[in-house]
Amino acid sequence: MAYETNHASLLARIREISDTVYIPGCSSEFSCSLLYHAMNLSLNRPLYAAAVKIASALGFEPEEIHTMSGSDANHINQYDIPVIDALGPYTYGIHTTDEHTVISSIRHQTLFAAALIQDLFLHYFGS
């Protein structure tokens, strides 16, 4: 399934579906509220580049993904603060009864986050 990324056309399509009478005598109502602001990717590029550099030095390549969900990072980023997400351990089935963390990823991700913080500190504040 391809996700619609144009917010206006997505809302128009949802309204079209909502306004269509499928069962005579029945109607539907649609409302929408914004839970998460979209990430400003251009603002995040320098931080992401630093993360890629550190990941490469540690022998892995991070994967940049785009989702239809949000996190605290979206709230921070709306104030023009550069941010990247997913520095924690690998977690699957988030917010479900099947949620679990890959224990072996804790050490790896902690090392990655610490190295990134050190690199950024040295870049902005010197040795």
Cα gap 71→35, rounded to integer Å: 10
Q: What is the pLDDT of residues 88-126, one digit of tens each?
A: 898 898 889 999 999 999 999 999 999 999 999 998 898
Q: What is the mean pLDDT of residues 47-53?
A: 92
Q: Which of 49, 17, 44, 43 is closest to 30 using CA atoms?
A: 17
Residue 115 near residue 75, CB atoms below 8 Å: no
pLDDT at residue 105, rounded to an integer: 92
Q: Which helix (H) or strand (E) holds 100?
A: strand 100-101
Residue 77 near residue 39, CB atoms below 8 Å: yes
Domains of the chain listed by start with CATH number: 35-125 (1.10.150)
pLDDT at residue 14, rounded to an integer: 86
pLDDT grade for 5, boundaries at 50, 70 and 90: low
- pTM of structure: 0.67
